Amino acid sequence: MNAPKPRAAHPPGEWPSAEVAARSLLFSPLRLRSGLQLLGRTWVPAMVPWRASEEGHVTPEVLAWYERLARGRPAVLVIEATGVRAVRSGPLLRLHDDAFIPGLHTLVETVRRASGGETRLLVQIIDFLAVRRRPERSVWFRRFFQPTTEHRAALATLGQCVPAEDTAFREACIALSEDEEAVVLHPRELEDLRFGARERVSDTHLDHIAALPQVLPPAFAAAAVRARTAGFDGVELHYAHAYTLASFLSRMNNRADGYGGSLEGRVRLPLEVFAAVRRAVGDDWTVGARFLGDEVIVGGNRIDDACNIAVKLAQAGLDFISISKGGKFDDARQPRVGESVYPYTGQSGHECMPTTRIEGGPFSRNVPLAAAVRLAVRQAGYATPVVGAGGLCAFGQMEGILERGEADLVAAARQSLADPDWWLKLRLGRGNEVRRCTYTNYCEGLDQRHKMVTCKLWDRHAPEDSATQISPDGRTLIAPAWTV
Ligand SMILES: Cc1cc2nc3c(=O)[nH]c(=O)nc-3n(C[C@H](O)[C@H](O)[C@H](O)COP(=O)(O)O)c2cc1C
Ligand code: SF4
């Protein structure tokens, strides 16, 4: 029997006194190119909590979630990935219509009030392509499979009788073993059958995919204008993980229309999206981007690609660059029938939200990527601030990253989820009260099942008061209160 992998140990708390915190780089200000003044280097990156309405509107639960995060007064809080096109996506926020502005305006006011005006508020804006649930096998063959002469020739090689009529041919295929169906179907069909159909940016035979370079720049620009109208301090363009613009940047993008292949081709649409957004919102409003320092998939982008992309984006005039890692569909685990493939289940996904079980541990794991990107950007002559993330959860750890110039801003997602007040506790010299994230991904498991995200530690620490919000399955929906 294999021994369980040892869990990585947390970096030591080394909690600062209030005086040390006040003198630290972590709590020192930074001015962005747009003129936005950040009061510190502390950053809560985007996290989807699955609390919007089915139509993508802000709900009281969304307000409560961000209000709670804002009470810890991070210098920057990034609102979850918010869709720029009218695509059904369940209870995730959207910005494809002016109807979303009033709700988002209330969200902005809520965060300003809760943070005493200290937290700058960005919204991450995203586009994604269609991903269908894994179908039941016979349903796929009967409803989606289009038999061709090639399929018939392949079935003949198996020594089987080959029905001429389509319905009978489909039934013959349903009777095949997994090995046999792999002979008959094209690799893409096999993937549709086994994982659910998933659109690619390279599917240029589909009109709506071919048209993405015309559709996305105005869609992102209009969403950014709405965000500005709602009162946000800026937007983060989501060029990371498994989504449309990350796929354009990827080495896997072999579009032949000038928007794929070479680095110039792959970066063209992300640059055009940025240019359209910048034109629409002006120079005095923050526009940054999050992309991958490493895709962690075979044939995908590595750090050298990320550095080249970063220099091009910095040259174009981004206000900040945020570096993430992995989170791709390409190596995701096969979903169960009726479920969708989830991009955080394969190796690339494990690198995106690393747990204490991962070889080498999650702590500062992705910082070398941010450091390499920052160095490349500086060597090219640009001062664009770089945000690092991944297992950041201790004062000395983050201060060291800033001192060594590995990043300009430090982002903590799960630690801020476990204890939204932790930034304030550090500032006030009360670090010994921080509720430390265990990095075992209970929260991520809920995200995977599209359930309202919570932290397992909240249940343990929640007071038994009637004001605490509880989910239908008995989970505490809001981090326990902390009094300064
Ligand atoms: C529940 C959950 C939801 C997330 N949603 C997003 C998202 O909407 N956009 C994004 O860029 N990253 C998202 N992430 C990734 C985080 O922003 C962060 O990069 C990752 O968790 C690693 O940082 P950490 O070690 O501080 O948690 C999410 C992470 C979690 C745990
Ligand atoms: S559920 Fe676990 S991994 Fe997620 S924030 Fe809480 S302690 Fe951290």
- Angle at alpha carbon of residue 479, lines to 354 and 388, rounded to 5°: 35
Half-sphere exposure of 184 (CA within 13 A, CB side): 27
Residue type, 13: G
Reported confidence tier of residue 6, pLDDT bands at 50, 70, 90: low
**Could you read off the pLDDT of 287-334 as tens digits, one per residue?**
999 999 999 999 999 999 999 999 999 999 999 999 999 999 999 999
Show Cβ contacts of residue 79 under 8 Å, excluding neighbours closer than 6 positions. Answer: 46, 66, 93, 107, 121, 122, 123, 124, 232
- Say which CATH superfamily domain 18-131+214-461 falls into: Aldolase class I (3.20.20.70)
460-477 exposure pattern, b = at least 16 Cβ within 10 A, e = fewer: eebeeeeeeeeeeeebbb
The pLDDT, as a whole number, for residue 230 is 98
Question: How many angstroms separate the Cα of 230 from the Cα of each of 46, 103, 237, 278?
Answer: 18, 8, 17, 17
Asked whether 285 lines ligand 2 (CB < 6 A), one says: no
- Rounded to whole angstroms, how far apart are CA atoms 211 and 213? 6
289 burial class (0-12, 13-18, 19+ CB within 10 angstroms)?
buried
- The Cα–Cα gap between 411 and 422 comes to 13
pLDDT of amino acid 468? 65
Burial 213-222 (b: 16+ CB within 10 A, else e): beebbebbbb
308 C-alpha to center of ligand 2: Å?
Answer: 34
103 C-alpha vs ligand 1 centroid, how far in Å?
23
Q: Is 388 helix (H, G, I), strand (E, B) or coil?
A: strand
Q: What's the token pair of residue 82?
A: 């918010």
If you average pLDDT over every residue of the chain, what do you get? 95
* Mean pLDDT in residue range 472-483: 88
**Ligand 1, atom nearest to 80 Cα:** 8
Predicted confidence (pLDDT) per residue in 84-119, tens digit:
999 888 899 999 999 999 999 999 999 999 999 999
Cα 313 → chain centroid: 19
Q: What is the mean pLDDT of residues 4-12?
A: 75
Q: Which two tokens stand for residue 357?
A: 């079980």
Work out which ligand 1 atom sits closest to the CA atom of 238.
Answer: 11
Helix (H, G, I), strand (E, B) or coil at 61: helix
Distance 390 CA to ligand 1 centre (A): 9
- Distance CA(287)–CA(110), nearest Å, equals 22
Task: Report residue 183 as tokens.
Answer: 């002979």
Quote the ligand 2 centre to 49 CA distance (angstroms).
13
Question: Is 455 near ligand 2, meaning CB less than 6 Å away?
Answer: yes
CB-based contacts of 355, cutoff 8 Å, min separation 6: 362, 439, 440, 441
Residues 6+ apart with CB under 8 A from 268: 213, 248, 258, 259
Residue among 344, 357, 414, 476 to mutate when testing ligand 2 (max atoms within 8 A of CB): 414
Q: Is the per-residue pLDDT at 193 higher than 80? A: yes
Q: Which atom of ligand 1 is nearest to the CA of 446?
A: 1
Nearest atom in ligand 2 to the alpha carbon of residue 438 is 7
Which residue lies with its CA nearest to atom 29 of ligand 1? Answer: 47
Asked if 257 and 212 count as a contact pair (C-beta separation under 8 A), the reply is no
441 alpha carbon to ligand 2 midpoint, in Å?
5
CA distance 8 to 12: 12
Nearest ligand to the CA of 438 is: 2
62 vs 14, more confident:
62
Q: In this model, does residue 466 exceed pLDDT 60? A: no
Contact residues for 74 (Cβ-Cβ < 8 A; gap 6+): 40, 42, 43, 44, 115, 119, 416, 423
Q: Which residues pair with 324 in a beta bridge?
A: 292
Residue corresponding to tokens 């599209």: 450
Q: Which of 243, 259, 342, 344 is catalytic?
A: 243
pTM, 2 dp:
0.95
Residue of the CA atom closest to atom 7 of ligand 2: 437
Q: Where are the domains of the chain?
A: 18-131+214-461, 137-195
Instruction: Among the bound ligands, name the one nearest to the CA of residue 125.
Output: 1
pLDDT tens, residue by residue, 17-57: 999 999 999 999 999 999 999 999 999 999 999 999 999 99
Please report which confidence band the pLDDT of residue 68 belongs to, taking 50, 70 and 90 as the band edges.
very high
Is the pLDDT higher at 392 or at 461? 392
Q: Are strands 286-292 and 321-324 parallel, antiparallel or unpaired?
A: parallel
Q: Which of 355, 421, 438 to mutate to test the pocket of ligand 2 (most atoms within 8 A of CB)?
A: 438
Please report the pLDDT score of residue 1 as a whole number: 47
Query: What's the 49 CA to ligand 1 centre distance in angstroms?
Result: 10
CA 456 – ligand 2 centroid, Å: 6
Q: Which residues contact 481 (CB under 8 A, 6 or more apart)?
A: 463
Residue 462 has pLDDT above 80, yes or no: no
Q: Whose CA is nearest to atom 1 of ligand 2?
A: 455
Ligand 1 pocket, Cβ-based, cut-off 6 angstroms: 45-48, 80-81, 124, 238, 240, 290, 324, 353, 362, 389-392, 412-415, 443-444, 447, 453
* Percent with pLDDT over 70 in the chain: 97
- Are the C-beta atoms of residues 420 and 479 closer than 8 Å to each other? yes
Across the chain, how many H-helices and E-strands are there? 20, 10
Place of tokens 């990107």: 373
Angle, nearest 10°, between helix axes 101-114 and 212-230?
Answer: 50
**C-alpha to C-alpha distance for 163 and 171, rounded to whole angstroms:** 9
pLDDT band for 351, please (50, 70, 90 cuts): very high
Question: At 12, is the pLDDT very low, low, confident or very high (cuts 50, 70, 90)?
Answer: confident
Find tokens 């997994």 and name the residue: 178
Confirm whether 243 is a catalytic residue: yes
- The residue to mutate among 356, 414, 438, having the most atoms of ligand 1 within 8 angstroms of its beta carbon, is 414
413: left (phi over 0), alpha (psi -120 to 50) or beta: alpha
Q: What is the pLDDT of residue 398?
A: 97
